[in-house]
Amino acid sequence: METKVVRIPPDRVEEHEEELALAAEIIKRGGLVAFPTETVYGLGANALDEKAAEKIYAAKGRPSDNPLIIHIADKSDYSKYCEIENAEGFKRLTDAFVPGPITIIEKKKSIIPDTVTAGMDTVAVRFPSHPVARRLIELSGVPIAAPSANTSGRPSPTRASHVIEDMMGKVDMIIDSGESDVGLESTIVLIKEGELTLLRPGGITPIELEEVWGKIKLDKAVTEKLSPDEKPLAPGMKYRHYAPSAQVVLLRGEDSRVRDFMKRALEKEETGVICYEEDGFEESERVKIIGSREDKSEMAHRLFDILRYFDALEKISIIYARLPDSDGVGLALANRLIKASGYTVSEV
Q: Which positions lie near ligand TXA, rule CB under 6 A?
A: 37, 39-40, 42, 66-69, 103, 105, 117, 120, 122-124, 126, 146-148, 185-186, 188, 199, 233-237
Shortest approach of ligand TXA to residue 170 CB, angstroms? 16
Task: Give residue number: closest CB to ligand TXA.
Answer: 236
The CA distance from 279 to 256, in Å, is 9
Interface stretch with Mg ion, choices 91-99, 116-124, 146-154, 249-257 (CB under 5 A): 146-154
The CA distance from 277 to 256, in Å, is 14
Shortest approach of ligand TXA to residue 251 CB, angstroms? 27
The closest of 193, 197, 239, 235 to 219, measured between CA atoms, is 197
The answer to whether residue 148 forms part of the interface with Mg ion (CB under 5 A) is yes
Query: 120 or 313, CB closer to ligand TXA?
Result: 120
Q: How many residues bind Mg ion (CB under 5 A)?
A: 1
Q: Which does 173 bind (CB under 5 to 8 A by kind): ligand TXA, Mg ion, none?
A: none
Q: Give Cα 188 distance to the centre of its chain.
A: 10
Shortest approach of Mg ion to residue 2 CB, angstroms? 25
Shortest approach of ligand TXA to residue 126 CB, angstroms? 5
Q: How far is CA 13 from CA 5, 25, 40, 65, 111, in A?
A: 16, 17, 18, 35, 30
Q: Which does 143 bind (CB under 5 to 8 A by kind): ligand TXA, Mg ion, none?
A: none
Query: 84 or 120, CB closer to ligand TXA?
Result: 120
Q: How many CA atoms lie within 13 A of 220 on its CB side?
A: 7
Residue 67 φ/ψ, nearest 5 degrees = -70, 160
Q: Are 324 and 201 in contact (CB under 8 A)?
A: no
Query: 52 or 123, CB closer to ligand TXA?
Result: 123
Which secondary structure element, helix H or strand E, spans residue 276, and what is its range?
A: strand 271-276
Shortest approach of ligand TXA to residue 263 CB, angstroms? 36
Query: 103 or 177, CB closer to ligand TXA?
Result: 103
Shortest approach of ligand TXA to residue 154 CB, angstroms? 11
3-state secondary structure at position 153: coil
Q: How far is CA 151 from CA 35, 157, 306, in A?
A: 15, 9, 17
Q: Which does 246 bind (CB under 5 to 8 A by kind): Mg ion, ligand TXA, none?
A: none
Query: 67 or 328, CB closer to Mg ion?
Result: 67
The CA distance from 333 to 330, in Å, is 5
Q: Are 84 and 106 in contact (CB under 8 A)?
A: yes
Shortest approach of Mg ion to residue 185 CB, angstroms? 6
Query: 149 or 323, CB closer to ligand TXA?
Result: 149
Q: Which does 197 bind (CB under 5 to 8 A by kind): ligand TXA, Mg ion, none?
A: none
Query: 67 or 324, CB closer to ligand TXA?
Result: 67
Query: 198 or 273, CB closer to ligand TXA?
Result: 198
Q: How many CA atoms lie within 13 A of 277 on its CB side?
A: 9
Q: Which does 69 bind (CB under 5 to 8 A by kind): Mg ion, ligand TXA, none?
A: ligand TXA
Shortest approach of Mg ion to residue 105 CB, angstroms? 15
Q: How far is CA 266 from CA 129, 252, 257, 347, in A?
A: 41, 17, 14, 18
Q: Are 243 and 340 in contact (CB under 8 A)?
A: yes
The closest of 8, 11, 45, 43 to 30, measured between CA atoms, is 45
Which positions lie near Mg ion, rule CB under 5 A? Answer: 148
